[in-house]
Each structure stands twice: as C-alpha cells, then as structure tokens.
Structure 1
Amino acid sequence: MAERNDIILNQFEEYLTQIALSPATITNYLADMRNFVRWGKKTYGDDFSLITVAPEQIRAYRNHLLEEQKRAASTVNRHLQALRKCCAYLTQTNLSPINAAEEISLVSGEKGTSPQSLSAKDVEAFLEAAYQTLSSIAKRDAAIVNLLVGAGLRLAEVSGLQLDDVVFDYPGVHLAVRDSRGQGKRDIPLSQEIYKLLKEWLLIRPKTSFPYVFLSREANPVSSRTVQHIVSRCAKTARLNGVTAQLLRRTYALRLLEETGDLDLVQQRLGHRDSGVTKRYLNIENPQTDADG
C-alpha cells in the first residue's frame, strides 16, 4: 500500500501538470518535496505528514538547509518555493486546514549570491512616480516603466517597439517583441493594467510616419538612453537607489518564477536561448546537487 505522503505527492504532480508547468519544473518541485519528507521523517518520526505539517517545522527545515547543509540562499529559497506551492495545493483541496508555508519568509541572499530585485512596495512607489511628470508625457512614461517591470522588456526592446508589434487578440493583448539581439520575435501577454496604460498612450500618441510606439514630445522615436533617463527620474522621485532597466527586468523574472514555478516560461518570456542562461541570470543552482543523502 502506498505511503500517504507518496499519494499526496502523486496528486500534487497531477495538479502541477494540470496547471501546465514544464516537466523540468515539476520534476524539480517533486524532488524538493521528497527531500523535505525524508528530513521530516528523520527529524519527527515516521508519522510525519504533509497534511499536518506546521509552520515551525518548515522554519526548522529552512534552518537545517542554511546552517547544517550550508546551502546557498538561492537553493534554500527554491526549496521554500516548492513548499509554498505544495502547501497552497493542500489548502485549496481541503487536505490541510492551514497553509503552513504562507507566512514563511524567503532567505535574504548574501552579497553576490542572490540577484537584486525590488520589493512589491518599491515597485508600487516606482510606478507611481511615472505619473509625477508633465501631463503630456505621463501616460507614455507610465506605459514604458510598466512594460519594463511588468513584461520584462529590455531597454532596446522598449524603444524599438513598433505599432505592429502590439497584437490585439480577444480577450486580451500581447506583444510580438522584436528581440534586440536579433533572435526573432517572442510573444509576451500583457496584463489588463498594462494593456489599459498602453491603450491610453496610443490614443494621444502624436500622429507621425514613424512606426514606433513611443515618441518624444517632438514626435521622434525615443532612444534607449531616453528610456533609461525615464527609469532614473522615476527612481529618484520614488527615492529608490540603484534602479536600472536591468533591475526591473530581473524583478519581473523573479516574480514570474515565484508565481508560476516554471523556469521554462521565464526563459521564454525573457528571450533567453536556453534555461541555463536563465538560471545564471537569476543565480539558480542545479536541483540535482541538492539531494539529501
């Protein structure tokens, strides 16, 4: 007869497949969860169950990875992300009365080990700053910074975005982004908020023969340098230090990975040639090196 935790993990695997996570991501999640179960049984006994796991047990596991196993912050956080996903599934399916991982914080990375990103509060302040400019270009700037942090575009991709790249497909809209590195196009769906901002800008965009989405007050295409200037101005207004377009792109990627757990999806959205590039970009270690012996 199958062990109860194994049954739960089999059901969890079916759930991950249903929500269309990549096979590699599913494999990694399950490997991390099995590591957690093995540690739980060794620490608390054979009766250790995913259904009754408590927040303090997850904290103890986090400390075990950090202090005893000496794992990097990025590795510990990957284990915690798997736990968050599994505990959320257990709660949604009424298998567990509480989400034991919901309030467990991720680990702050040491210098050079964890990619820098903006907090949700900082992102909100940064986006609000885009509106604190001349009314004639506030809508443009708001659309630009939202594309950087909400769609993960590069500087050159924002300045090079053309009208034909905005594809309206019911019920939403997506961008057919021309890769700034000459690797073709990639599709990026837009949130309703970004779609609204983009639509508001296009309604007042100066009429010109230029095909580019974003124009200056003089109706000339904006340059990458102008986009970076907009980023710097918004950061200064929001009193945030060290904000660059690269930081906004990384913030987008980390948030997408946290929400979906799908590294392949993040790779596609960022326009990376393979997942290895994305792992290095986000400083993610190989899960195969994490197995508890």
Structure 2
Amino acid sequence: MVRNAENNLLARFEKYLVRLGLSPATVVNYLADMRGVARWCVESGQGCSLLNLTADDVRAYCRYLRGGRGLSPATANRHLQAIRKFCGFARQADLMESNPAADVRPIQPPPISRRALDADEIACLLEAAQAGRPSLVKRDYAIIQLLLQTGIKVGELTELQLADIELTDSRGTLTVTGNGGNSHRRIPLKALVCQSLQEYLQVRPPSPGVKHLFLSQEGNPISARTVQRLVNVYTRAVGLTGVSAHTLRYTFATSMLEETGDVATVANLLGHRSVETTLRYISKSQATQADQEVM
C-alpha cells in the first residue's frame, strides 16, 4: 500500500514537471532523485516521508549525499533542486503546508581563484538551465551551451547576429566579430550546440528588423548584464560559487587544450593575438605541458 501511494504521488509529480516544460532528461533525474529521498526516509530512521519532510530532514539528506554517498557539491545540490521542485508541487496540490527545502542553502564547494568546471559540474549546470523559467529555458540553455562550447566572451555573445550562425543537423559554424569589428574568427559548433540553437530559434520572439541572435522576451537584444545574471542564477542553483560567464570561457580553453594539445589552435578559437597570451591565460600546469609539446 505504501509503495503504491508513493508511485501514485511521483506519477503526479512527473505530470507537474512535464507541465513546467522541463526536458525529459531532467524529469527522469528528478524522479530518480525523489525515489532516493523516499528510500532514505525509510532506511535512515528519521521517521519522515516525502510529504512530511522538515528543513532538518533535508539538511540531513544533503549531508548523507556528501558523506555517505560521496557525491560532489554540484550533484548533491541537483538533488536539493529536485526536493525543492517536489515540495513546490506538493504545496500547489495542498499536500504540504510549506516548502522545507526553500531555506536550505546549497552546499558550497571550496573556493578556487581560477578553475575550470569539471564534467560533473558542467552536467549539473546544463541541467539547471533546462529546469529554468519555461518562457526562457530554450534561450538560456542555448546561451550556456554556447559559452561552454565556444569560449566566446559575453560581449561577443550579445553582439551575435542571426547571420553569424550556420547550422545543419549535426554541425555548424559560428562567426565571431572581434573588438572594433576589424577581425573575425570562425568557430566550429558541435551537435549539442547546434541542437540547442535550433530549438531556441523555433521560439525566438518575432522581432522584425532585429538581427541580433539572442533577444529578451520583449524582442530586444539582450544585454551583457542579463547574460551575467542568468549564469549567476544557474550556477548558484547548483551551489557553484565564484563562477561567472568568464569561468565558462576558461573551461572551454582548458578543455580544448586537453583535447588538442595545440596552444595555437586554442589561441585562435579564443581570439588571442598571440600564443603567449593563451599560455598566460591557462593554468600553470597546463601551460607547462603544452609548451613542452610545441617545443
């Protein structure tokens, strides 16, 4: 009987997530996360259930994820996001009086002055973007993907025009105009970026005469401040502190260096005028390795 009730409750939660317009992958992950919470409620001896969780229960579960299961801060915070969504659904359905997870702070990773996001953090960040505001989720997800997969600056992103992207089903090219409009560089786009851009273009606000790629809901070109703000919203949602749009550029740079081992290629993609600039930009250990390879 208990298991049937739990399955029925999660089935209702699933319908709620679908109505919010979340991606199928996010829905699957959130359901799996809540089944994990339900198991913990039974096995932990806390005397709680999905519908009578307290803030202390949620904090205890987050500690279990970090200490008992050894999950990274970003992944543990993804679980916290799932609990928040579930409790929001339960409140809306009059199954809970309040959201006990609302005031539980995300787990903070240790501060690092400059670092690249790891694969786990990238996955959590993209998932957070997919779970964002339904009216803006396609745009925001495409922006995060583009920053991560091309390393372009925020100022370059906000100046992108529709004519600057060439897309097919599985590949594409982005033309970026440098400072002053005197230089251009072409960056190849991977399949996931192409897909996210194509999905955004299907819902891009109709704005006759406006050639900018990324627009606000009112149909105006977005500002650099808007981009920085949305990056901040999604990184904080998964407990990533000290992360900005520039962190995503740095993540791209280090990833491309690891993938190609060619500093000149990375310099060209970043729009650096010299390899020396790129060597100063990337971390010391990576720069040393790359320098040895090109010598």
**Which amino acid letter does the alignment assign opposite residue 198 of structure 1?**
L
Find the aligned partners of 1:161 and 1:185 in 2 and give their Cα distance. Answer: 12
After TM superposition, give the deviation of residue 134 of structure 1 in Å: 1.8
Q: Residue 254 of structure 1 aligns with which residue?
A: 254
2:210 corresponds to: 210
Amino acid at match of 2:118: S
Match of 2:139 in 1: 140
Cα drift, residue 217 of structure 1:
0.6
> Is residue 2:180 matched to residue 1:201?
no
For residue 229 of structure 1, what is the aligned residue in structure 2?
229
Task: Give the unaligned 5+ runs of structure 2.
Answer: 1-111
Q: Give the aligned partner of residue 177 of structure 2.
A: 178
CA shift for structure 1 position 266: 0.3
Alpha-carbon separation, structure 1, partners of 2:247 and 2:224: 15
Aligned length: 179
Per-residue deviation, residues 37-77 of structure 1 (Å, max 9, x unmatched): xxxxxxxxxxxxxxxxxxxxxxxxxxxxxxxxxxxxxxxxx
- Aligned CA distance change for structure 1 residues 192 and 152 (closer, same or farther; 3 Å): same
Quick one: percent identity of the two aligned structures? 37
* Runs (5+) with no aligned partner, structure 1: 1-110
CA shift in 2, pair 1:253/1:183, >3 Å = farther
Distance 1:181 1:226 in 2: 22
Measured on the aligned residues, the alpha-carbon RMSD in Å equals 2.3
Deviation (angstroms), 1:169? 6.6
For residues 288 and 168 of structure 1, what CA distance do their matches in structure 2 show? 32
Aligned-partner SS, 2:123: helix
Distance 1:281 1:220, change over 3 A: same
Aligned to 2:278: 278
Q: How does 1:1-293 map to 2 (within 5 A)?
A: 115-168=114-167, 172-180=171-179, 182-208=181-207, 209-284=209-284, 285=287
Q: What is the distance in 2 between the residues matched to 1:251 and 1:272?
A: 16
TM-score (norm 2): 0.57
Counterpart CA distance in 1 for 2:123 and 2:177 is 28
Q: What SS does the aligned partner of 1:135 have?
A: coil
TM-score where L is the length of structure 1: 0.57
- Provide Cα deviations, 1:150-189, integer angstroms capped at 9, x if missing partner: 1101001111110010024796211011124544110001
SS in 2 for 1:186: strand
